[in-house]
Every structure is written in C-alpha cells, then in structure tokens.
Structure 1
Amino acid sequence: MLFRQLEYLVALARERHFARAAQACHVSQPALSEALRKLEDELKVLLVRRGRAFEGLTPEGERIVRWAQRILADRDALRDEVDALRTGLSGRLRIGSVPTASGAVSLLTGPFCAAHPLAAVELSTDLRSEELLRQVRNFEIDAGITYLPGPGHDDLRALPLYEERYVLLTGLTGPAEEPARRPRATWAEASRLPLCLLHPGMQGRRVLDEVFAGLGLEPAPRVETDSVASLFAHVRTGHWASVVPYAWLHVFGVPHGMRAVPLTEPVHSAPVALVIAAREPGSVMARALLEVARRTELASVLDRLPGA
C-alpha cells in the first residue's frame, strides 16, 4: 500500500492536477485522494494544499516527494536487478536526449539492444538540457545525453561521449551558394547569411550564440524552429543556411540539394556526455547503458562522417 501511495503522490507532483494524476495511475480521483489522505495520516504531516482544486504541495510535501522518487526508483532498480540475475537484463531503458545529440543516440541503443535482447528502449529526443537533468535527478528517465554538465552537479555522473563540432549547411543555390563551393567556411561568413536556427531557448542554440558572441558577431536568424526536420526543409529551399552539429549527418547524411561545409576560425567544439544519477547501486539499466557507452567509440564513428 505504501508504494501505491507514494506513486500517487509523485504522479500528483508531476501532473499538478488531481484528475490527470488519477488517470496516469489508472485509478479514480476519489481513490487517489483518499490514498493521499491516508498517507498524510500515517506520516502525521500535511502534504497537499487543497481547495476547490489542487493548489500545490506543502513544503513538507515537496520534501516527501523527493524521498518518494528515490524509494520508487530503488524499488524498480531492485526488481530489474533480480530479473537480470534470473533471466538476463529485461524491462525498459528510458533515455532522454537534447535534439542536437539525437542523431548519435542510435550508436548506443543499437549495441545496447544487441547485448540485452530482452530489454526495450523508450527514447525522448526533444528535451531541453535543464529538463533532461531534472528528469535524471527525479528518476523519470534512466539516462540522458546532453552537453557535459559544469560544476555544481555532484548528484550526477557523466561520461563524455564525443566533441560536438559544427558545419555550415547550405543549399547549392541561393545566397549561401558561394561559401558552399569552398572546402570550409568561417563563422563570420556564416553570420552574414540568412540563417535558419534552432529556437533561442534550446541549449544547442545557446551554444551557437555563445560562439558568435565570443567572436563579436551578431547574426540575425530569419527563421527559428524547435524542429530538426523543419530546419532541414528550410535549408533545402535554398533561401536559408544553417549551422548544425556534424553528428546530425549520421542520420541525414548530406541531403540531396545541400552541402555541408566545416566551420573554421575557430574550429569550435562542445563536449556531449551520457549522464546518469550518481547514486549507488542505482538503475541497472543505466549501469548497463554506461558499460555499452564505454565500449562504443562514438567519436571515431562520427569523425568519419561527411563534413566532419
């Protein structure tokens, strides 16, 4: 019963709505509310602020939610560990990725599934970096692939995977035709082109903005999108160019009617890492993926791509 009550509390903290939390837990709203009231009685502390609708968790409720997330994660890890000892690793590996690293994820999921044929993978590739780290911390996903976290993340464990470098992606005609004909282009040249870039709120875009700003450049993107497919579609028209991670070429290659030109002056790189929670023993799924990542030379594969 305790595990069920904790699941209801975590669902309510995530959904911020009684009816949606009940739906996520496959129970009626009255059943969820009653279970939470019993949990409050058992703990002798108020967890939920109630009015005519959900008004948030109390400070005590926020702290109990963090404990609940850990307890449920440990329960799931124990079950996975026992299953792995008995029949081999099974269950579901949950991975999150920032969009700019999504093209490299298959280089890990392929060997992971080959090594663990009873396991399945659930993948989200449109997470922003901050949200991805939050989900790792809250045990909502087992692992994340994002830019290497800086100082102040002692609760996370990171394994560098590769250095993200960048290419100027252009059409073969239009305003970017001239730099597309050369073996390389500079960031200054890229800044003067009509650009289609990722949305400013995305970490991959913030990395580009920092590079441009560090060189004293102020590009003015004509189109901004949160969709990789939309970005490629705009470049293909010949009206826009873009700056994209060379790892994307692992998925798309250099599409027909486009050219990928390495960016120099400077050759900039940003480290991309596999991130898991630092707790021990932690998720057996996360540990298995970490072991696969250690054996997989992502950098050597990506360095062989066109434009790298």
Structure 2
Amino acid sequence: MLGKLEMFIALSNERHFGRAAESLGITQPTLSAGIKQLEAELGVKLVQRGSRFGGLTPEGARTLEWARQIVGDARRLREEMRFSREGLSGHLRLAVIPTALTWASRLAARFSAAHPNVTFTILSRASTEILDMLDNLETDVGLSYLDNEPLGRVTTQELYRETYALVCAPDDPAAAKETLQWADLEGQSLCLLTPDMQNRRIINRAFMDAGLTPEARMESNSTVVLVTHVEQGGWSTILPTDMARSLAKGRDLAVVPIARDLPGPSVGLVAPYQEPQTPVLQALLDEARELAN
C-alpha cells in the first residue's frame, strides 16, 4: 500500500495524472491503476475523474492527511535503519528563499565537509511555497523567514537576523555615505523583488514606517537579475547585506548598509515537527545552530 499512497500524494501535489506519473518515473496507466487499486483497498472513491483530474473527494482529502503521515513515517524509518547500517548518509532536499541562498550554500558546504556521505539538492522557492512543499513531502527542510508569517507546527533553528543594503553605482550620491537611513532612499530608481516575495513585503513595510512608498520601476523574482540590472546603470536595488555583498563582488558596484533601529527578521531552518528527527535532519539542525553562534 505504501507505493500506492506515494502515487496518491504525487497526484494531489501535481493535480494532473501525466505530471504526477512523470514525477514518480512511471507511466500514466501505472499511476491510474495504482490509484484505482488504492480506492478498492480502502473501499471509497478518492479522486474525481472526468477527462482529467477533477480534485479529491472528501474521503480523498482525509486520506491525503493519513497518506502524508504514513509515508513520512516510513521515510523516517528508512533513514533510521540506514543510519544504523551506514552512519550518517543519504540525500537532503533543501528549499530556500532567494535571499538566503548564500547562507544555504554556506550551511551545505560545512555540513558536506563533516558528513561527505550526505548529498544535497537546493531549490530556490518563495516562503509560502516552502511551507506547502514541507506539507506535501516535496522537500525535507526549508530555509525561510521564521517570524513574519504563521509557520504552523514545525521545528525551527535560527541562522541569522536579516539586515539590508543598497546596491548602486559607485557614482550614485548614496554610495558616498557610510550608512543610509530608509528615508535617504526617497527618489531612488529601484528594481526590487516581486510582491509575492516575503522579502519585498518586509522592504515595503520599512519604507512605510519611514513615511515613503518605494518606486519600483522594475521587478523580478531573481536577485541576480536585480543586481545585473543595477550594473547596467541608472538603477539601484535593496537586498539582504550578505547577498548584496556576494552578488556585487567583482562588479563595479557600491554596497551601502541601511541602518535599522530594531533587529531584522529572523531567518533559519524550518523542518516538519517530529520526535525524534531523522539522524540526518537532526545533524543539519545542529550544524545550523553552530553556524549561527
């Protein structure tokens, strides 16, 4: 039944038989047969079918909750048994907000050096997507904001507090200052992250607190695009300080810190709440705690 429950979870995630089958590396007829067999075993209809996927039935929605729990527990059991056989090994899927990618690389590099038998997949995702991916078992752990939006029942480990900097041309008047206030940014021709990104919402609030409205004349969900746009001239952008310095390195750009009266947003690991954690995930949480100190 476990394999059929994994098929059912994939179908719920993709909401399309073809894409779900592709994500599992099986054929669509195999997936359809597996779902029908699961329905027969449970004695209820799980999926509304027509010419295409029509959503879950009420029984399907309830089954999905159980399926996630059962499959998640089975995966944790496999991790425990692998640890007893091979020590710390396996593969970790890490979903990361775009502005924390430099920290994700730092954490993964430190962890891999200490535990070379653990491999990583790191994906850039919005904060809301990360929570959905954790619920849907599509990622093992997230790296996201911890205190700006409800996270639900999860385990967290803070890595750092976010600070901000203006990235601009070296001949921009703002580049001559050691530190900027948010009020100093009035009139800057900005390119910023898109409004669906939590970092953009944080920046918008900072401007509002200063009595300003940011003039975002270009938006992108890629920090690389923003910095490259600034490099073309006539623009500036606002990024977390660590990422701003990383992306501006080797470019003819200035990075000027923006002062903040209160501590910035907390950013760290977000993992499904479970006791105990798998050995690999617990080791990653421990590594994050050491990196934060």
TM-score using structure 2 length:
0.94
Distance 1:45 1:66 in 2: 15
After the TM superposition, which residues 35-46 of structure 1 pair with which residues of structure 2 at under 5 Å, given as runs? Answer: 35-46=34-45
Structure 2 counterpart of 1:25, which letter?
L
2:175 aligned residue: 180
Of 146-155 and 163-172, the range deviating more from structure 2: 146-155
Which of 197, 204, 215 aligns to 1:209? It is: 204
Which of 212, 215, 227 aligns to 1:232? It is: 227
Could you tell me how far 1:30 is from its partner in structure 2? 2.2
Change (3 A) 1:287 1:281: same
Structure 2 counterpart of 1:297, which letter?
A
Give the root-mean-square deviation of aligned CA atoms: 1.8
Distance 1:280 1:107 in 2: 27
Which of 275, 286, 289 aligns to 1:291? It is: 286
1:176-221 per-position Cα deviation (integer Å, ceiling 9, x unaligned): x111111112211213210111111111111100111122111211
Distance 1:164 1:98 in 2: 12
Change (3 A) 1:152 1:244: closer
Contact kept? 1:158, 1:276, Cα under 8 Å: yes
Give the secondary-structure state (helix, strand or coil) at the position aligned to 1:222. strand
1:56 aligned residue: 55
2:195 aligned residue: 200
2:131 aligned residue: 133
Could you tell me how far 1:165 is from its partner in structure 2? 0.2
Give the secondary-structure state (helix, strand or coil) at the position aligned to 1:211. helix
2:109 aligned residue: 110
Give the secondary-structure state (helix, strand or coil) at the position aligned to 2:216. coil
Could you tell me how far 1:10 is from its partner in structure 2? 0.8
2:154 aligned residue: 156
Distance 1:243 1:150 in 2: 19
Could you tell me how far 1:268 is from its partner in structure 2? 6.0
Structure 1 counterpart of 2:179, which letter?
R
2:238 aligned residue: 243
Could you tell me how far 1:60 is from its partner in structure 2? 1.4
Structure 2 counterpart of 1:40, which letter?
E
Contact kept? 2:147, 2:265, Cα under 8 Å: no
Give 5+ residue unaligned stretches, structure 1.
Answer: 299-308
Which of 271, 276, 281 aligns to 1:281? It is: 276
Distance 2:100 2:149 in 1: 21
Distance 1:3 1:71 in 2: 8
1:305 aligned residue: none
Contact kept? 2:95, 2:130, Cα under 8 Å: yes
Which of 183, 186, 189 aligns to 1:191? It is: 186
Distance 1:268 1:112 in 2: 27
Structure 1 counterpart of 2:46, which letter?
L
- Segments of 4+ in structure 1 off by > 4 A? 265-268
After the TM superposition, which residues 243-262 of structure 1 pair with which residues of structure 2 at under 5 Å, given as runs? Answer: 243-249=238-244, 251-252=246-247, 254-262=249-257
1:223 aligned residue: 218
1:218-251 per-position Cα deviation (integer Å, ceiling 9, x unaligned): 1211111111111111111221011110120463
Give the secondary-structure state (helix, strand or coil) at the position aligned to 1:252. helix
1:4 and 2:6 aligned:
no
Contact kept? 2:224, 2:247, Cα under 8 Å: no
Structure 2 counterpart of 1:226, which letter?
N
Distance 1:237 1:250 in 2: 17
1:120-172 per-position Cα deviation (integer Å, ceiling 9, x unaligned): 001002x1111101212332211111111458544111111111000111111
Could you tell me how far 1:7 is from its partner in structure 2? 1.2
Distance 1:37 1:17 in 2: 15
Contact kept? 1:156, 1:277, Cα under 8 Å: yes
Aligned length: 293
Change (3 A) 1:235 1:250: closer
Percent of aligned pairs sharing the same letter: 37
Contact kept? 2:147, 2:266, Cα under 8 Å: no
Change (3 A) 1:64 1:200: same
Contact kept? 1:234, 1:240, Cα under 8 Å: yes
Give 5+ residue unaligned stretches, structure 2.
Answer: none
Distance 2:154 2:104 in 1: 19
